[in-house]
Amino acid sequence: MQTAIVESLLLALCGGALGLALASLSAGALRNLLPQGLPRADAIAINLRVIAFGFLLALVCGLASAIFPAWQTARFRLTHLRSGGRATAGRDRMRARTAFVFGQIGLAAMVLIGAALFGRGFLKLIERPTGVRADGVLTMRTSFSWDTQPPKLHGFIAQTLDRMRQIPGVSHAAVTDRLPANGGSQSGSLAVRGRTFDPRTAPDDIGRRAVSEDYFAVMGIPLRRGRVFRDQLPKGAPGEAVLNETLARRLFPNGEDPLGQWISFNPDRPGTWRQVTGIVADAQRSPREPAPPAEVYVSYSTTYWAIPTFVTRTSAPARTVMEGMRAAVRETDPNVPLESVVPLETGIAATHRQPRLLALLMAGFGLTSLALACIGLYGLLASDVAARRQELGVRLALGATPAGVLWLTIRRGMGLTLAGLAAGLLASIPLSRWIASVVPGLVSLDPLVYLTAAASLLAIALLATYLPARRAALVDPVSALRRD
């Protein structure tokens, strides 16, 4: 018993050392995959605590895997080895190994389905149209103190936009409070003059984006009807607003014309009503939302937001325009802090980094669990073939064909695989529903995902089963019968 425990601990420590070496090599790659701005991302490293935990976990696993078989072996006395005790011990050990491999296969099926769902969700995410034409668009965010007076902020924006429009290669320049596909927007309850809404369908979660009139031209958002609002209105003129198509359908589902209607987020305050002048196409607000939100666009000059983001559309080299945008801000006010100028495509791609990381991690877990399940299945059948070598020799001596012995072993391995796979598929149903609830646009019981995971597991299991089965078919009856 002591020998078995020592052997198991040595194997566990070797495996732990190999695992820590692989973890050390992959830590750098993992940091590169993490989303920008993730807290303490630089702290991801293999240190003494991780090494100590890894070896402690290896020791626990080594003891756990050694104590049970060692205890089984110790139950049988040496005098019973030739009188059936060996067979009983062998059957007990085989049952334990079979249950262990059964659990491995079921767990592998669950992790594979989870990985496939995350991968499918990520593909849908990057294929989902954003509603904007990001190529050729450069962005630059600036920030002011929140106690800055509105006239100073609006004057800075107007002067900076005038300078940006003069940059060679810039066709349009605009400002916005938030970029598309990069976060939420201010939201609130919206009132429509002369309309009352059912409380169950009241527009109480309507997004509001503050932009300048050229924003739609910069972003390539098509104007469906009417016209965009004007930044500079005559003194005393009412405010103007543009609705996206989702909001227009929601507010006026019965075919009423939205153009000319009056809306307000603060209907009780004078001077807050705005007239709808146009309808634009939907644009994605966040990659985590399954559908475009209902939004109102209003002029930046009529609102207050101290973190304006400038956007330009250009056909000139990006580096040249970036320098021009920085210069435009410095010429207007050299004391205004600004962030680095980045292409809009880069910003949208950054929103995909977190779901991509989850998909890659799940794929890694899925492949690891698949490998462990197949190694376990191979070890189980190889041990079974070694223990039944004499029996297989007798079968072959009595007329059994190698093909029959091959099929006998494959049938045992694939039967165990199918049983574990069925249990894993059933256990995956609640897991799939949870993943579909956190990943937009996914179907929890996706037949393609389940079929792909099952086919992958069956194919690898067949290979793991065939190798010991082939060895069983090549058993020499004479040498097998001479043993013992």
Yes or no: say if 409 and 385 are a contact pair by the CB < 8 Å rule: yes
What percent of the chain shows pLDDT beyond 70?
Answer: 85
**pLDDT at position 183:** 61
pLDDT band at 222 (very low <50, low <70, confident <90, very high): very high
Residues 100 and 66 reside in one and the same domain: no
**pLDDT at position 443:** 76
The model's pTM:
0.69
Q: What is the pLDDT of residues 79-128, one digit of tens each?
A: 454 444 445 555 666 677 778 788 888 888 888 888 888 778 777 777 77
Residues 295 and 268 reside in one and the same domain: yes
pLDDT (average), residues 316-338: 91
**Domain C-terminal end among 318, 350, 382:** 350
pLDDT (average), residues 25-50: 67
Residues 235 and 371 reside in one and the same domain: no
Q: What is the pLDDT of residues 138-157, one digit of tens each?
A: 999 998 989 889 999 999 99
Torsion of CA 252, 254, 256, 257, to 10 degrees: 60
- Range with lowest mean pLDDT among 75-84, 212-221, 244-253: 75-84
pLDDT (average), residues 192-200: 74
Q: Considering the domain boundaries, does residue 429 fall inside one? A: yes
Mean pLDDT score of the chain:
81
Residues 374 and 251 reside in one and the same domain: no
Residues 210 and 344 reside in one and the same domain: yes
Of 416 and 394, which is predicted with more confidence? Answer: 416
Yes or no: say if 152 and 190 are a contact pair by the CB < 8 Å rule: no
Q: Considering the domain boundaries, does residue 81 fall inside one? A: no
**pLDDT at position 1:** 59
* Total count of domains within the chain: 3
Q: Considering the domain boundaries, does residue 478 fall inside one? A: yes
Q: Considering the domain boundaries, does residue 126 fall inside one? A: yes
Q: Considering the domain boundaries, does residue 80 fall inside one? A: no
Nearest one of 50, 49, 42, 43 to 20, comparing CA atoms: 50
Of 352 and 423, which is predicted with more confidence? Answer: 423
Yes or no: say if 339 and 142 are a contact pair by the CB < 8 Å rule: yes
Q: Which domain holds residue 382?
A: 86-130+352-484
**Domain C-terminal end among 301, 332, 350:** 350
Residues 153 and 236 reside in one and the same domain: yes
Residues 276 and 357 reside in one and the same domain: no
**pLDDT at position 359:** 75
Residues 363 and 329 reside in one and the same domain: no
Of 438 and 416, which is predicted with more confidence? Answer: 416
Residues 333 and 197 reside in one and the same domain: yes
Q: Considering the domain boundaries, does residue 92 fall inside one? A: yes
**Domain C-terminal end among 75, 94, 116:** 75
Cα first-last separation, the chain? 24
Q: Considering the domain boundaries, does residue 294 fall inside one? A: yes
DSSP state of 236: T
DSSP state of 338: B
DSSP state of 433: H
Residues 309 and 406 reside in one and the same domain: no
DSSP string, 205-225: SEEEEEE-TTHHHHHTPPEEE
Nearest one of 188, 212, 238, 180 to 301, comparing CA atoms: 212
Cβ-count burial 443-454 (b if 16+ within 10 Å, e if not):
ebebeebbebbb
Q: Considering the domain boundaries, does residue 360 fall inside one? A: yes
Yes or no: say if 343 and 318 are a contact pair by the CB < 8 Å rule: yes
**pLDDT at position 483:** 59
Residues 63 and 173 reside in one and the same domain: no
Residues 210 and 336 reside in one and the same domain: yes
